[in-house]
Structures are given as structure tokens and as C-alpha cells.
Amino acid sequence: MAVGETVPLGIDAVPGLRLGVASAGIKREGRKDLVVFELAENNTLAAVFTRNAFAAAPVLVAKEHLRTTENSRQAIRYLLVNTGNANAGTGAPGIAAAEKICRCLAELTGVSNHQVLPYSTGVIGESLPVEKILAALPDAISSLNDNGWRDAAEAILTTDTRPKGATRKVEVAGSRITISGIAKGAGMIRPDMATMLAYIACDACVEEKALQGILESAVAESFNRITIDGDTSTNDGVVLVATGAAGVGPSTAHDFDNLAQAVTEVCTELAQAIVRDGEGATKFVTVRVVEGASDDECLSAAYAVAESPLVKTALFASDPNWGRILAAVGRAGIPELDIAGVTLWLGDVLVAENGALAPHYREQAGLDAITPEEITLTIALGRGDCEQTVWTTDLSHDYIRINAEYRT
């Protein structure tokens, strides 16, 4: 699917999960900006969060609620998501605000406040408009329904231009299991994780520890393989819920692998949709690094290329400036890298080998390879058998405009 192309959002309902949306007027009156997820009573839940040390209040509160429910053997019953305000950099008042909205939702639904996880995204450093959120909660609850995925996908957007969703079906223990998910994110995107939120659910029965393993593995191969600008956020989180409504779960290694693969596919589709919707993006770029001595050095090289402003601006201009790519690989910190062993392709065009321009390379071929909206850069390090892939975008005038005007 081309960069900027509208994504058809056919997301199948997941039995055991309901979604409701409302307008709290957090940043703009009338915009849907509040989402409530209601989870089945006996669900299991896995979650990962940003590794940014400047973690937002809702991240800290969500982690604490997860610890409390684990100790008390209670299930998380609700997720509460707001956009337009990150509630980050707000100190103790921010923690109190996140706790207050959880407490209000808990009172309205008859659960413990620790059974609610808060998520926020938007502007950093501004106080959360608690009263607006509390006033809108009854509307969000009253709108809870099985087929609210699209409304929820639209309500969690910030600088995104379109909603992002994915669904897979998989056979587990003789039953058809549905895995569906939505995500938001368009800038401040870099692994560990990004300024992104993602919510994925399946109706299988999965023990919590196993579910956490599935999620962490899926995130490592998807959301932690994308970068738009190299910045990590204060607020990201990914949730995977197993509602148990199907009444069956993986009973064999084959079943478990099928379910894990389907979850990874959903996460990968959502992660790539985030890149395609990158702020100001005009190109979807796959950076493959092969023949590495380790996965880590492949990733170091891939990210050095994917996050280089010089490479990204050349991609925007459709300029096959291959020297910028090799220069980025050269500063990736790979120990004792022999540049004579490095080979570079733009698409299927061999551009450089032995650390220099390939003898039969022609500039027009490079231009033809780098002009399309979807581009693959392949770098062979000539050091081993490892390979890794990262997805990124170009860097355009609009990226600067969007971020310069973000708070205006």
C-alpha cells in the first residue's frame, strides 16, 4: 500500500471485548478523544511500555496497577485512553490526575480502581483536563459495543492522518480464533518504543506469562523495528488481551506457534501502517542489513542509515546519494568493520561494492530505483550470516512544518 493511501479498516470484533468512545473536548471541541475498552471478567493481559526514563504519569500508574492486580490476582477490566494531552512532565499532580480518572471509571463500572489502566497521548507538560474527562466518561461507557474498533482507532489519533487497524484469523485447538488490533503513531517514533499506542485482543484462553512472552516477541519484530525520526516518547504502550471468550487456548506447540505468529503479523501490519503514516512521509523505506556478525550490529547499521538526516533528505529528493548511506554504516559503531567487504543495493541495483562505486553502476538506474514511493536499501556487511530489517520514512518539508506547528 502506497504512502499516504487510505487504509481500508475492516477490523473484526473480538468476543469478550467492547469499546466505547466519547468527546471530552481535550484539545478540540467535538472531536472523539476518549476511548474505554471493557475486557471480559476472566481475561488475561500483557503489556509493554516506553523505556524512556521521562515516563509519563499514566505509564507509571498503569505499571503500578498491573503490579497490584497481579498480587491480588485480579484481572484488569478497563483501559482508559485519552488523546490531546500526554499528562507527561506533570509531576505528582499528574499522577493524582491519572489516578482520579481511573477511580471515576472504576466507580461507574463497579470495579476496583486498580483494575483500570490509563493511557494518554498528546502534548507534553500540560495538566490533564480531569474534569472534562470525567464529564465524558458516562458517554464513553454508554457507547460500549462489540464493533467499536474503527471509532476507537480514529479517537486515539494525534498527528496521524488516518486510523490503523489489522485482523487475523487462526486455528487454535480446533477453533477459529480472532486477533484484532489498532494503533496510533506518526512521529516521535523509535524503538523502546515510540510515541505510539497499540491495543490488540484475541478471544483465546492464554496464561498470563505465556501471553507476555507472545507480546514481547511480537513487539521485538514489529514496533521495535520502526523509526521515523529517532526520538522515543514518554507515553508509549502496547497491550495484548486474551479474553478467553472462545473457551479454548493453545494446547500444543503448533497451536502456540500459530497464535504467536498471528499476533506478530497483526503487530507488524500496525507498525508498518505507522511508518506509512509518518509525519510528512512521502516514501516507505525498508532498510535490510545482511551478512552481519550479529543481530545487534545489523540493527546498529540499519538504524544509523534509517535515522540519518542526510540519508532521509536524499530519499525525499529521490537522490541516489549512495555515499551518505555508506557513511552512515561507517559510523554505526561496528567494531573492526572492513569497508572493502560492504556492498550496497538500491532496490535490485548494485550501487557499491568493495567500499566503492560498482563498475557497472549507472546514475539513471539508481535514480529509477529510488524514485518510487516504496524503496528497499540493502547493505551487506560481509561479516557473517545474521540479518535484520528496519522500516522508516524519508524526511520532508512537511515533517518540519508539522512539528514546528505542533503546539500552535
Residues with a catalytic annotation lie at 195
DSSP string, 354-385: TTEE-TT--HHHHHHHHSSSEEEEEEE-SS-S
3-state secondary structure of 135: helix
Sequence-ordered alpha helix ranges (H) in 22-121? 57-72, 91-109
Nearest alpha-carbon partner for 192 in 228, 125, 237: 237
Residue 261 has a CB neighbour count (10 Å cut-off) of 15
- All three cell numbers of 132, joined, read 472534562
d(CA 111, CA 114): 8
DSSP symbol at 332: S
Residue 257 has a CB neighbour count (10 Å cut-off) of 11
Nearest alpha-carbon partner for 306 in 363, 216, 230: 230
| Burial class for 373, CB neighbours closer than 10 Å (0-12, 13-18, 19+) | middle
Nearest alpha-carbon partner for 228 in 273, 197, 289, 269: 273
Nearest alpha-carbon partner for 285 in 364, 358, 371, 220: 371
Nearest alpha-carbon partner for 164 in 152, 172, 175: 152
3-state secondary structure of 308: coil
- All three cell numbers of 148, joined, read 467499536
d(CA 321, CA 366): 9
- All three cell numbers of 70, joined, read 497481579
d(CA 242, CA 59): 21
d(CA 221, CA 238): 13
The residue type found at 123 is: V
DSSP symbol at 226: B
